[in-house]
Structure 1
Amino acid sequence: MNGSRSRSRPEYILGNIPDPSYIRILDTTLRDGEQAPGAAMTAEQKLQIARQLAKLGVDVIEAGFPCASQEDFNGVKMIAQEVGRKCEDDGYVPVIVAMCRCNEKDIRTAWEAVKEAKRPRLLPFIATSPIHMEYKLRKTKEEVLQIARTMVAFARSLGCRDIQFGAEDAARSDREFLYQFFGDVIEAGATTLGIGDTVGITMPFEFGKLIADIKANTPGIEKAIIAVHCHNDLGHATANTIEAARAGARQLEVTINGIGERAGNAALEEVRIIHLYFRQLNTSYFTNYKAFGD
């Protein structure tokens, strides 16, 4: 996301980043950012913002939630058709993502919206914390695992090969269950793992330890990218995101000015400036992780 990006951005490979110190930026201003009060956008406004995000050098643009409305579907499709097919100055075409719940209707609609992009990605998600599984989903762990595996397979059957599977409320989920959950979706074909601090309550050292544990204990983790999505309810979104990068996350999810649901998300400009600062200060900062208290 600067003038040197043409020299430093590695080749885009599903589930792998050739440069171990490179960090992908996913901007979700057009989806999570729109949930901020007063931030609703038309399809044309979303397209205008997506154009600017591509010029900034954002690796991945989460264009919206196509099943939410016809307007959102139209916006995602417009972005996929234009921004998702246009090379920027460095020859890179951003990945365009459509979010969807774990059901066939959502996934099929999301794929129809995004499939014309050069690099289309689907982002199905499901809750994994005990409180969400019991009271929101009313599902057992085994049922959630089966849904996740089945929906990854369904997405792949439509032709999608770039699948980011999101674990909603991962920060409050049982560790052993997360290892199994992510191992299962990797085996089913997921290429990126979405780890959310959905209610924004995790301390930075806790979140860094969570990412380190997932990296160390998930079967097949070498086949997928760890992504993090942090909310700012206690003011820790940027700090949690940076700690996650230190622990092995290689996709950081942000919004412009940190806008988003409730207190917002990690801010694009904060995460990027801090990332650049520490890379200049110490090139090992994002590769030699040690959690506070270890």
Structure 2
Amino acid sequence: MTNKIYIFDTTLRDGEQTPKVSLNKNDKVTIARQLEKLNVDVIEAGFPAASNGDFEAVKAIAENIQNPVIVGLARAVNKDISCAWEALKYAKKPRIHVFIATSDLHMKYKLKMEPEEVLKKAVDTVKYAKSLCPSVEFSPEDATRSNPEFLYKVVEAAIDAGADIINIPDTVGYSTPSQFGAFIKGIKNNVPNIDRAIISVHCHDDLGMAVANSLAAIENGAAQIECAVNGLGERAGNAALEEIVMAIKTRSNYFNCHTDIVTEEIIKTSGLVSHITGVHVQSNKAVVGVNAFAHESGIHQHGVLNCRETYEIMTPESVGLKKSIIVLGKHSGRHAFLQHLMELGYEGLSSDKTDEIFKKFKDLADKKKQVSDEDIESLVKNEIFHVPEVFKLENYQVSTGNAVMSTSTVEIGYNGKIIREASCGDGPVDATFKAIEKATGIKVVLDDYFIKSVGSGKDALGEVTVKIKKEDRIFSSKGVSTDIIEASGIAFINAINKLYYAYHMDCLEKSAAY
């Protein structure tokens, strides 16, 4: 029997620290439910003391997710730990994750504490966390740049104080695989009570070695890997969950270990996280990129057709992809369409949802010769995560050219009425956005705009992602259409609907409080 490696997912905590990513409570619960289907061992749900929103999200996950351990992060400060416990106490399997920096650099310039003060703070706060929660994880932040002798001392003391998991972070992604493996081995050999704790690692990807470092740690005794879906996280991100898991599965004989991850859920999980966060997965991304199982070279195609193993070390099915693309068109019936939705993994959709998705599919099929699985999944995701449609883009008309000012006229549905407005702008998209702002009466800052092709060919769908900002809150949404101006307008109006809904809910919560 091979050794089990525990998969600690930090998408909802460190992953949310990706620049320009902000997840609300519903977003986090939705992702957590999928992580439970993926069968991760641990979900780090957030940093409860960071904000009231994060507290409520961690609490909601603790109340609704049953199988994984639910973790809340806390600084080595009693009030953070108390706050984490208040959110986590509803969990079936709670864990408080306490951290404090141990490198000379961090202690001097960030904490402004002496080493003995850090040691005492680590011990005192781990003891306090253990008095509240049955499981405590301790992380010496910036461990790989810490003095090893001091680090051994802190780790030993933390275990004696009650920590049952010791996490070793390569906080700034500075290590190399051989160096990091030796570092983990040093901890195993020099911390007398290390057998009373699980060694975990948390590697960042600043030099592109997070996955390699994590695997080197496994070779040297680490039993838990902290990672994020699609490699999300601070700066260059974390070790990518999907790469860690599939490396272990594909090279199980080499690593002599396994995970309990349901790998067939990987693609769905990756797509969901990408959709909700608005962070796109690069085409050549290992395991989950759209090109990961694509073969363009004639030599490669010939080899794969004769024997898959010539150019594929994993099967598409093992991560949740299908080999064949089912082509659906305008003559397809509703029954066949719904059956295909089930084959794609979208079961349990309400009748209203499926009716709306089918209608949009038919509209798209009138514009395209072939509708691919990517097209259908894009339509489904936009419908599933659709907020209440307060404003609707009914019609638009643009006038543009290289010698004239771009103008846009829009008709926006609101409360059973049609609001018409027009505006000029720097190009047809900018003009359309400004006209929508005038019609809705909501001014925002466009924080990000991204467009990509879904599928291929001249009639491919354009998928637009916009991020808007108002009062330091960011709202992300998508729009799809064969017309990129329409896709842009739909994405922008959907983001405004999210903003409107969020502020409306805030007002309701404040009213209820009084």
Q: TM-score range by the shorter chain?
A: 0.7 to 0.9
Alignment correspondent of 2:106: 132
- Looking at structure 2, the residues matched to 120 and 285 of structure 1 have their Cα atoms a distance apart, in angstroms, of 26
- Looking at structure 2, the residues matched to 139 and 20 of structure 1 have their Cα atoms a distance apart, in angstroms, of 43
Query: Displacement, 1:35?
Result: 0.8
State whether residues 211 and 243 of structure 2, in contact with CA within 8 Å, keep that contact through their aligned partners in structure 1. yes
- Looking at structure 2, the residues matched to 161 and 181 of structure 1 have their Cα atoms a distance apart, in angstroms, of 21
State whether residues 5 and 257 of structure 2, in contact with CA within 8 Å, keep that contact through their aligned partners in structure 1. no
Query: Displacement, 1:284?
Result: 4.0
Q: Secondary structure at the match of 1:190?
A: coil
Normalised by the length of structure 2, the TM-score is 0.49
Normalised by the length of structure 1, the TM-score is 0.86
Q: Secondary structure at the match of 1:282?
A: helix
- Looking at structure 1, the residues matched to 169 and 216 of structure 2 have their Cα atoms a distance apart, in angstroms, of 14
Query: Displacement, 1:34?
Result: 0.4
Alignment correspondent of 1:28: 10
- Looking at structure 1, the residues matched to 256 and 84 of structure 2 have their Cα atoms a distance apart, in angstroms, of 39
- Looking at structure 2, the residues matched to 161 and 203 of structure 1 have their Cα atoms a distance apart, in angstroms, of 34
Q: Counterpart of 1:110 in structure 2: which amino acid?
A: A
Alignment correspondent of 1:165: 138
Alignment correspondent of 2:89: 115
Matched ranges for 1:1-294 at <5 A: 21-83=3-65, 86=66, 93-158=67-132, 160-279=133-252, 281-282=253-254, 284=256
Give % identity: 52
1:81-117 per-position Cα deviation (integer Å, ceiling 9, x unaligned): 010xx3xxxxxx1100000001111000000001111
- Looking at structure 2, the residues matched to 33 and 70 of structure 1 have their Cα atoms a distance apart, in angstroms, of 18
Q: Counterpart of 1:80 in structure 2: which amino acid?
A: A
Query: Displacement, 1:20?
Result: 6.8
Query: Displacement, 1:216?
Result: 1.1
Query: Displacement, 1:156?
Result: 1.9
State whether residues 248 and 255 of structure 2, in contact with CA within 8 Å, keep that contact through their aligned partners in structure 1. no
Alignment correspondent of 1:11: none
Alignment correspondent of 1:7: none
Q: Secondary structure at the match of 2:138?
A: strand
Q: Secondary structure at the match of 2:4?
A: coil
Cα distance change, pair 76–285 in 1 and its aligned pair in 2 (3 A): closer
Query: Displacement, 1:157?
Result: 2.2
Q: Rg bigger for which structure?
A: 2
Cα distance change, pair 156–257 in 1 and its aligned pair in 2 (3 A): same
- Looking at structure 2, the residues matched to 180 and 98 of structure 1 have their Cα atoms a distance apart, in angstroms, of 25
State whether residues 183 and 220 of structure 1, in contact with CA within 8 Å, keep that contact through their aligned partners in structure 2. yes
Cα distance change, pair 20–282 in 1 and its aligned pair in 2 (3 A): closer
Q: Secondary structure at the match of 1:135?
A: helix
1:243-274 per-position Cα deviation (integer Å, ceiling 9, x unaligned): 01111000000101001100000001000000
- Looking at structure 1, the residues matched to 192 and 147 of structure 2 have their Cα atoms a distance apart, in angstroms, of 16
State whether residues 130 and 163 of structure 2, in contact with CA within 8 Å, keep that contact through their aligned partners in structure 1. no
- Looking at structure 2, the residues matched to 105 and 66 of structure 1 have their Cα atoms a distance apart, in angstroms, of 11
- Return structure 1 stretches of 4+ with deviation > 6 angstroms: none
Q: Secondary structure at the match of 1:125?
A: strand
Cα distance change, pair 20–224 in 1 and its aligned pair in 2 (3 A): farther
| Structure with larger RCO (C-alpha < 8 A, sep 6+) | 1
Cα distance change, pair 33–109 in 1 and its aligned pair in 2 (3 A): same
Q: Secondary structure at the match of 2:251?
A: helix
State whether residues 122 and 163 of structure 1, in contact with CA within 8 Å, keep that contact through their aligned partners in structure 2. yes
Cα distance change, pair 285–115 in 1 and its aligned pair in 2 (3 A): closer
Alignment correspondent of 1:12: none
- Looking at structure 1, the residues matched to 81 and 12 of structure 2 have their Cα atoms a distance apart, in angstroms, of 18
Q: Secondary structure at the match of 1:244?
A: helix
User: Gapped runs of 5+ residues in structure 1?
Assistant: 1-18, 87-92, 287-294
Residue correspondences, number: 258
State whether residues 278 and 285 of structure 1, in contact with CA within 8 Å, keep that contact through their aligned partners in structure 2. no
Give the alignment's Cα RMSD to 1 decimal: 1.3
Query: Displacement, 1:285?
Result: 7.3
Q: Counterpart of 2:254 in structure 1: which amino acid?
A: N
Query: Displacement, 1:137?
Result: 0.6
Higher strand share: 2
User: Gapped runs of 5+ residues in structure 2?
Assistant: 259-514
Q: Counterpart of 1:171 in structure 2: which amino acid?
A: T
Q: Counterpart of 1:162 in structure 2: which amino acid?
A: S
State whether residues 29 and 259 of structure 1, in contact with CA within 8 Å, keep that contact through their aligned partners in structure 2. yes
1:145-171 per-position Cα deviation (integer Å, ceiling 9, x unaligned): 10011001111222x120000110001
Q: Counterpart of 2:142 in structure 1: which amino acid?
A: D
